[in-house]
Amino acid sequence: MKLDILAFGAHPDDVEISCSGTLLKHIAFGQTVGVIDMTHGELGTRGNGPLRLQEAADSSRILGLSVRENLGLRDGFFRVDEDAIHAVIRAIRHYRPDIVLANATTDRHPDHGRGGQLVAEACFLAGLPKVTTQRDGRPQQAWRPRLVLHYIQDYHQRPDVVVDITAHFERKLESLRAYSSQFFDPTSSEPATPISGQDFFDFLRGRAKEMGRPIGATYAEGFTSARYLGVERLDRLF
């Protein structure tokens, strides 16, 4: 299966929090979209690995993803090393996305910045024919995405590009509610976390409003790029 967009997240729910509105918008355009979670999120203060996998599956149905996989890297302890890079390369070469979305380049959780670096390096190396990989016992051909963008997470960053997600914002929140272990639940006896408070969805709404305001949109999601972004016609920018 070839995908138009493949989004990577260090943990289940990273993608939903930061770029699911963009995914929903492109799915509505008729594009094929998938998500690769790098870990099970097993070290999270709330919930556990198996539960978060189930929540990710529930969220995937809400989003209408074509595919979702988990690489099973160690939460908190994966590194940008050869094994992890090869795992990401195999996914990139299998799905051959034109666009890859990855974790923020720096953030409160060290897995986020490390995950963003891991995916960026893997996207480059995936295009080198002399880097050999196999999937299901079959050799893979080199493939390099045309565009790699990093979504913005907890720490504020100035975006290089923003996407109007106004028509999809409420469904974005619906996909997040699938992670019932992670977000506000007045009946939960688990410890509080930075995202489990009642005001976290208010923060997400405010962040989306902030990103949308400069382009005249009610809600938007922002992304950064390590390279120049080209455009063929200036009148396509707004």
Residue-wise pLDDT for 137-163, tens only, equals 999 999 999 999 999 999 999 999 999
Q: Quote the tokens at residue 161.
A: 């590009």
- The residue ranges of every structural domain in the chain are 5-226
* Partner residues linked to 134 by β-bridges: 139
pLDDT of 98: 98
- The model's pLDDT over 169-183, given as tens digits with 9 standing for 90+, comes to 999 999 999 999 999
Q: Which residue, 44, 25, 131, is CA-closest to 56? A: 44
Backbone angles phi, psi at 168, to 5 degrees: -120, 5
Distance of CA 16 to CAs 20, 35, 58, 179, Å? 5, 10, 12, 10
pLDDT digits (tens, 9 = 90+) for 191-208: 999 999 999 999 999 999
SS3 assignment, position 1:
coil
Q: Which residues contact 227 (CB under 8 A, 6 or more apart)?
A: none
Question: What pLDDT score does 111 carry?
Answer: 98
Q: Is the pLDDT of residue 237 over 90?
A: no
pLDDT (tens digit per residue) in 1-35: 899 999 999 999 999 999 999 999 999 999 999 99
Chosen CATH of 5-226 out of 3.30.70.141, 3.40.50.10320, 3.20.20.70, 3.40.30.20: 3.40.50.10320
| pTM for the model | 0.96
The two structure tokens encoding residue 232: 């063929």
